[in-house]
Amino acid sequence: MLPSVWERLSCNPLFLDQTETRLEVDRAQVEDFYHPLAVRLLAMQAPAARLLVGVAGPPGSGKTTFATILVQVINAESGAEAAVTVGLDGWHYPNDYLETHFVERDGQRIALPQIKGAPETFDAAAAYDCLSRMRGGGSVSFPVYSRRLHEPLPEAGMVAPSLRIVVVEGNYLLLDEPRWRGFRELFDVRLFIVAREETLLEGLRERHLRGGRLPEDVERWMRRVDRPNIQRVLPGAAHAQVLVHKDDVRHIASVEWSDPWPA
């Protein structure tokens, strides 16, 4: 990695998911993992007007952090704003919708707010439609999830025509279930973040507590929602071209590339 790339990257502070949580970027991690991936992505020829990169993985695996750093490394390498991050969380159904809809599980009728974050609480069709339009180029708006309001904000984000790469991150992008299977075809490169369950739960616990939840509420939520979601997401690794192995919440241990790399 050229010194100029690191200088461009380190002179601009990174913040997690539109919050005041500042990301500490480790140079060794950038040199060993993020920069090689950024170089490969910039060298790819997209079959559509844009390159779409899907970053999937279970809750707590650090997808948002990974995508945020990767996009900044891509932009530092290119010397211009070439890439942008889009989060699947923007397609959460609004709370008004969740409060009036239910799912059946094990013979029980469950209100959607009780499992917010599960696949059933996302508007998968709207997400698919928007990401399809992004592939075609041009200016495309997208919703952004507000961690302060706990609501999606329609058209709060914008992919400008000049952006060549869109890095989409979300739990369910490679989910092998009817409403989600079609997402695989949208992505020119599919990544999946792999970590031990203990690592995932550590990341989730930290996030929930940072959001102001009480410890006992956090543990109850993790048992009812997070653990089941982790189990649903893990089989999606079989559909990835790149496996990113994490040894803790923030650090990559290794990257396993498919052979051959998609052209």
Torsion angle in degrees (nearest 10) through CA of 18, 142, 70, 136 = -170
pLDDT by residue (tens digit) across 85-122? 999 999 999 999 999 999 998 888 999 999 999 999 99
Which phi and psi (to 5°) does residue 243 adopt?
Answer: -105, 125
Best CA proximity match to 190, nearest among 259, 233, 231, 237: 237
Return left, alpha or beta for 79; rule: phi > 0 is left, psi -120 to 50 is alpha, else beta: left
pLDDT by residue (tens digit) across 17-60? 655 566 778 889 999 999 999 999 999 977 778 999 999 999 99
What residue has token string 């005041």? 20
Q: Taking residues 116-141, what's their average pLDDT?
A: 96
Output the pLDDT for position 202. Answer: 86
Q: Taking residues 165-193, what's their average pLDDT?
A: 97
Q: What is the 3-state secondary structure (H, E, C) of 91-135?
A: HECCHHHHCCCEEEECCEEEEHHHHECEHHHECHHHHHHHHHHHH
Which phi and psi (to 5°) does residue 164 adopt?
Answer: -90, -25
Tokens read off for 243: 């496996």
Q: Please count the other Cβ atoms lying within 10 Å of the Cβ belonging to residue 128.
A: 17
Partners of residue 85 on adjacent β-strands: 167
CATH architecture entry for 3-87+160-172+180-257: 3-Layer(aba) Sandwich (3.40)
| 249 within 8 A of 199, measured Cβ to Cβ | yes
Q: How high does pLDDT run on average in the chain?
A: 91
Partners of residue 194 on adjacent β-strands: 245
Q: Please count the other Cβ atoms lying within 10 Å of the Cβ belonging to residue 255.
A: 15
Measured CA to CA, the distance from residue 123 to residue 144 in angstroms comes to 13
Measured CA to CA, the distance from residue 110 to residue 108 in angstroms comes to 6
Domain borders along the chain are 3-87+160-172+180-257
Q: Output the DSSP codes for 166-181.
A: EEEE-TTTT--STTTG
Output the pLDDT for position 4. Answer: 77
Output the pLDDT for position 129. Answer: 98
pLDDT by residue (tens digit) across 137-157? 999 999 999 988 999 999 999
pLDDT by residue (tens digit) across 231-240? 999 999 999 9
Output the pLDDT for position 211. Answer: 78
